[in-house]
Amino acid sequence: MSRLRLSIGALFVLVLLVYFPIWISEPDKSVQSQGNTALKPAYTAKNLTTTLYDGEGKLNHQVFAKRMEHYDQLDFVLFEEPEYTVYMDGGQTPWQVTANEGTLYNNNLIELEADVTVTSSQNEFLKSIKTEFIRINLEDKTLSTEQPVVVRGVEFVVDSNGLKGNLRSQEYELNNHVQTVYSPGR
């Protein structure tokens, strides 16, 4: 009996020594799968129009995108060819913002990239802003960029490297003014 127990014990120890390194080296599959799910969108949509209202029920902004990907765990939404309409308080004319790509974060901050154009059809001073990157805060209606910018007005064109502005108050600050062309009577 003791030889049988000794043989079974030796066999158990041998199996344990052979498979123990394999058991230790296997990655935890649950942790690995959680990391991968964060990089996959929770859902996607094509040709989507979304309308958002503020806390008082007033129209805040509207977005149309050719494609949208929502990442829940990372707290942002990616847009392909977004077309934003940013509404102002008091019935002011809304601003149209277009780009090739956009990212909306949960703190109402949007970053737009590649061929960005901000326009207002009824603004008497500023008609459009063109750049390759711009950041817009949708709550306080401010925008900023450090990239080269072309600002077009009714009778002028301004080239600058960077811009800060407030769409509500229509106050704009050039970071590094390059050139202004003034053409009255255009």
Residues 6+ apart with CB under 8 A from 175: 146, 160, 161, 162, 163, 164
User: Helix, strand, coil proportions of the chain in percent (round to 5)?
Assistant: 20, 55, 25
pLDDT value, residue 145:
92
Residue intervals of the chain classified under CATH 2.60.450.10 are: 42-182
Question: Would you say 54 and 60 are in contact if contact means Cβ atoms under 8 Å apart?
Answer: yes
**83-106 per-position pLDDT tens digit:** 988 887 765 667 889 999 999 888
**67-86 per-position pLDDT tens digit:** 998 888 888 888 999 998 88
What amino acid is encoded at 102 in this protein? G
pLDDT value, residue 117:
92
CATH T-level assignment (fold) for domain 42-182: lipopolysaccharide transport protein A fold (2.60.450)
Mean pLDDT (the chain) is: 81
**4-62 per-position pLDDT tens digit:** 777 788 877 777 777 777 767 766 555 555 556 667 887 888 998 888 887 777 777 88
150 against 54, higher pLDDT: 150
Which ranges of the chain does DSSP label H, i.e. alpha helix? Answer: 2-25, 29-38
**137-148 per-position pLDDT tens digit:** 988 889 999 999
What amino acid is encoded at 108 in this protein? N
Question: Would you say 118 and 129 are in contact if contact means Cβ atoms under 8 Å apart?
Answer: yes
Question: What does each C-alpha distance from 53 to 34, 47, 83, 108 come to in angstroms?
Answer: 33, 20, 17, 12
